[in-house]
Amino acid sequence: MVANDGTRAVDPSQYVAQHLQHFTASGPTAFATGDYARTFMWSANGLVVASVLLVVVTGLTLLTDRWPLFRLNPVMGFGKRLYLWWSCAWRQWLASTLFVVIGFFAFHSLVATATLPLMAFATHLMTSGATRTAFAWPFTLMEVPVVLAILIYLLLSLPLAGYMVRGGLVAHAISSTEPFGLWRATLLGVTTYVWSIPGSLLIAELAIWFPHHVAEILRGLGLVAWGMYIVLPRQLRRMTRSIQPG
């Protein structure tokens, strides 16, 4: 099917194959192999970006919270801190993995359902001359399922992370078992990601300059230490502030 301006309409089967291939290539497998650090962070600019993000997050936190940034309350030793971090981390990782798997099949269904209506609408615009930018509509509409999938993932992953972290805290009697609403879970998820992402990028950028086997070890140790001494205190502080603001 060819439009009157000579632009070829995209075959729905090719569209599905293209996006499924892209989704699979950029999914958890690529991250699990560590290749994301070499493809995304291979430049000095990566270190600058991670540092700027960390400075911004720290500055905003200092402006809104007078509590010492990384003081753990209640105070606990290394072993208990490690155990508490792991209790929160494995729940979050397991839930995230299941969420990604479910999201993959949901994305496949969304693409299969939306492709034909979107392409029919784009072809109608091109052939009717309803807009001067008709030639760009097929390519724009092709990305609609991708944008929707990203938005849905972001909206659901934040409270999911919050509930998983809270589950770890409850298991260690750090948090009460009272009802934990969606908004509080979302705020806890935001805190988790806001402090985890800059640290992950910074560690990936610093570890990348070492040999592969050394880099993997340093990356693992760095993420554990960052989670224990940076992320965990902020998570506990978020829980405290959600109960007792101020």
Domain spans in the chain, listed from the N-terminal domain onward:
12-243
CA atoms within 13 A on the CB side of 159: 9
pLDDT number for residue 39: 44
Those residues whose C-beta lies under 8 Å from the C-beta of residue 40, and which sit 6 or more positions away, are 46
Global pTM reads: 0.71
Q: What tokens were used for 26?
A: 């950029």
pLDDT number for residue 246: 55
pLDDT number for residue 89: 93
DSSP result, 61-106: HHHH--S-TT--SS---HHHHHHHHHHHHHHHHHHHHHHHHHHHHH
pLDDT number for residue 24: 45
Instruction: List, for residues 178-201, the tens digit of each pLDDT value.
Output: 778 899 999 999 999 999 999 998
pLDDT number for residue 190: 94
Taking 70 as the pLDDT cut, the residues of the chain under it are 1-44, 114-115, 118-119, 121-142, 177, 243-246
Burial group, residue 76, by CB count within 10 angstroms (0-12, 13-18, 19+): middle
pLDDT number for residue 211: 86
Alpha-carbon distance 193 to 46, whole Å? 18
pLDDT number for residue 21: 55
